[in-house]
Amino acid sequence: MGTGRAMVGAMAVVVVFSGVVQGYLTPLLPELGQRLGIGAVGQNNLYLLAQCAFAVLTPLLSRLGDLFGHRRLLRVALTMVAAGSLAMALRPTVATLAAGMVLQGAVVGFFPLLAGILRSRAPERGRSGMAVLVGALLIAIGVGGLVAGALSERHAEAGLWTAVPVAVLAVLAGVLLPDSDTPRGGRFHYGAAALLTVGLIALVLVLAQGGAWGWTSARSLGVAALAVVVLTAWVAVERRATHPLVSVRMLRDRRLAVISAHTFCAAFGTIGFLGANALFLGADPARSGYGMGLGPQAIATVSLAMVVAGFAGSTATPRLARLIGDRAVLATGGALIALGFLGLALFHTTLPQYVASALVVGLATGLFESITRTLSAEVVPERQTALAVGLNELALSLGAAIGAAVIGGVFAAHQTGGGDGRIALSGFVWSWCLCGGVALLGALCALAYAGPRTTSHPLAAPRPGHVPTKEGLT
C-alpha cells in the first residue's frame, strides 16, 4: 500500500467495522432477549461481559502490538471480532451471544494498533488521518444501529448479520495494510498481565454492578477492595520488572496524564449518558410529564444526527489545532460538552431545543476523541505508541462506565415514587448538570497540558530519512 491516502482509506474500513460492531447490538438485544429467553438481568450480564473484555484487552493488545508488530496483532484482533460476529449471526443462542460479545471486545485494539502503523508509515498524515478515522468511527456507530434496526423489523436475528459483510471487508483491509517499522524489543510480562486483568475486571464489576448490589453492600465493598489491592500489587510488580507490561514512568508523564484525565471527564458525559439520552427521547410526555415520545427509528435518527455532528468536529480538529493550539482545542472540547449539557438542563421542553443542545454535545465528542487520540500517540516514544493510545482508550472506557454508573445512581435517587420505576424530571436535570460539571473539570485539566502550539509533533512530522510521496502530503 504505497501512499498515505490509500493506507488511511484501508484503515477507515477497519474503523468502520469497529463502529458497526459497537452500534448494531444495542437496538437488537431487547427483542433478541425475548426470543431467546434472556431477561433484563441476562442482557445486563452480556453487556457486563463486553465491558470486562474491553477493559482487559485494551492494554494487552496494545502492548503486544508494540512488542510483536502492530499489523500482526491487528490481524489477530480483526479475526477475533469477525469470528464473534459470525458465530452470533449463524447460531444465536445465549452461549454464542456471550462468547461473541467477548470476542468483539477486541475492537478496542483497533485504534491503538492503527495509530502505531500510521505513526510509523505515514507520519505526515498523522493528524488528518486520525481525524478521518475518528469521524468514520462515529458515523459507523450511528449507521450500524440504523441498519440493524431496519434488518430486524420482521426478524430480530436478521439484524445480527449487519456486521458480517463489513467484517469481510475489514479483514481484507487488514491484509493489505503494511506493518510498522517501529523498533521492537523486550518480553511480555505474564505476571503483570494477570494482575492487571484481575484488577480491571474487579474494577469494571463494581462500577457496573454497584448500583444493583448497593454501593455500601459487602459485595460492592469487597470487590472494590479487591480491585484496589490487586492494582496496587500490579504497580509494585511493574516498578521492579526489567520488562514491564506498562512503564510506570510513562504513566507519570504529565502530558499523557492530562490527556487521559481530559478523556475520562469528556467520556463521563458524552458516552456515559447515551442510554439515558434514549430514555428521555422515548419518554411519553402524557405519562411522565417530560420527554419527546419518539419511537426507536426516530431515536436512532437523532443519534445519527449527533454522530454526524461528531464527524464534523473530528474532521475540523487538525485545522483548529493549527489555528489555536492543542491545549486550546482540548479546553474547547470540554467547554463545548459543558455548554451542551447546560443547554439540555435549561432547554428540553421541545424537540428542536433538545436536539440543538444534543448536537453541541455530538460536535464536542468528535473534537475530544480526535485530539486526545492524536496527542496520546504523539507524547510518547514511537515504540510506545500503541500502548499510549490504548491507555487513552482505557480512560475513555472507564469514564463512560463510571458516568453511566453515577447517572444510574442519580436516577435511582430521583424516582417518582409510584412504584413503577419511572424517573422524575429532576433526575435528568441533575444528571445533565453533573455531566456538564465533570466536562468543565476536564476543560480545566486541559489548561495544564504543555506542548507546542503547532503540529510539530512526532506523529505529524516525518522521521529522519522519510520522504513523503506527493499523494501522502496533507
pLDDT computed for residue 153 by the predictor: 72
pTM for this structure?
A: 0.81
CA dihedral 105, 108, 114, 120 (to 10 degrees): -120
**Amino acid found at 276:** A
Last residue of a domain, one of 227, 244, 261: 244
Together in a domain, 20 and 115: yes
Whether 281 maps to a domain, the answer reads yes
pLDDT computed for residue 40 by the predictor: 59
* Partners of 415 in the β-ladder: 423
299-319 pLDDT tens trace: 878 888 998 999 999 999 999
Query: Could you give the percent of the chain with pLDDT greater than 90?
Result: 42
Tell me the torsion sign for CA atoms 265, 266, 268, 269.
positive
pLDDT computed for residue 17 by the predictor: 95
pLDDT computed for residue 366 by the predictor: 93
Together in a domain, 171 and 282: no
Helix ranges (H only) for 350-452 are 351-378, 385-413, 425-446
318-350 pLDDT tens trace: 999 999 999 999 999 999 999 999 999 999 999
Together in a domain, 193 and 100: no
C-alpha 425/C-alpha 27 separation (Å) is 24
Whether 471 maps to a domain, the answer reads no
pLDDT computed for residue 417 by the predictor: 67
Q: Is 287 exposed, middle or buried (0-12, 13-18, 19+ CB in 10 A)?
A: exposed
Per-residue pLDDT at 13 exceeds 80: yes
Which cell is 377 given? Answer: 500517540
- CATH number, position 165: 1.20.1250.20
Whether 460 maps to a domain, the answer reads no
Query: Could you give the percent of the chain with pLDDT greater than 70?
Result: 91
Picking from 466, 459, 450, the residue whose alpha carbon sits closest to that of residue 382 is 459
Together in a domain, 325 and 231: no
For residue 249, count other CB atoms closer than 10 A to its CB. Answer: 10
395-418 pLDDT tens trace: 998 888 888 878 878 887 888 766
Summarize the confidence of residues 373-394 as an average pLDDT: 86
Per-residue pLDDT at 464 exceeds 60: no
pLDDT computed for residue 183 by the predictor: 62
Q: What is the Cα 69 distance to its own chain's centre? A: 23
Summarize the confidence of residues 122-138 as an average pLDDT: 86
Phi (first) and psi of residue 415, to 5 degrees: -90, 160
Together in a domain, 251 and 233: no
Together in a domain, 147 and 34: yes
Whether 274 maps to a domain, the answer reads yes
pLDDT computed for residue 470 by the predictor: 33
Last residue of a domain, one of 179, 200, 217: 179
Q: What is the mean pLDDT of the chain?
A: 85
The helix, strand and coil proportions of the chain, stated in percent and rounded to the nearest 5, come to 80, 0, 20
Q: Is 418 exposed, middle or buried (0-12, 13-18, 19+ CB in 10 A)?
A: exposed
Grid look-up 512488542 returns 67
Tell me the torsion sign for CA atoms 325, 330, 336, 339.
negative
∠ Cα 458 459 461 (to 5°): 65
C-alpha 130/C-alpha 54 separation (Å) is 21
Together in a domain, 22 and 162: yes
Summarize the confidence of residues 148-157 as an average pLDDT: 77
For the ranges 71-85, 249-263, 307-321, 444-458, the lowest mean pLDDT is seen at 444-458
Residue count of the chain, please give it: 474
Whether 392 maps to a domain, the answer reads yes
Together in a domain, 170 and 311: no
Q: What is the Cα 88 distance to its own chain's centre? A: 22
For the ranges 49-58, 71-80, 165-174, 460-469, the lowest mean pLDDT is seen at 460-469
Together in a domain, 167 and 34: yes
Per-residue pLDDT at 457 exceeds 70: no
pLDDT computed for residue 462 by the predictor: 42
Whether 415 maps to a domain, the answer reads yes
Tell me how far CA of residue 38 lies from CA of 22, 93, 137, 190, 223, in angstroms: 20, 10, 29, 36, 26
Together in a domain, 278 and 370: yes
Enclosing domain of residue 219: 189-244
Together in a domain, 240 and 257: no
Summarize the confidence of residues 212-225 as an average pLDDT: 89
Domain count, the chain: 3
Whether 468 maps to a domain, the answer reads no
Picking from 208, 230, 231, 229, the residue whose alpha carbon sits closest to that of residue 220 is 208
pLDDT computed for residue 345 by the predictor: 94
Whether 459 maps to a domain, the answer reads no
pLDDT computed for residue 461 by the predictor: 43
C-alpha 208/C-alpha 213 separation (Å) is 10
Per-residue pLDDT at 251 exceeds 60: yes
pLDDT computed for residue 338 by the predictor: 96
pLDDT band at residue 1 under the 50/70/90 scheme:
low
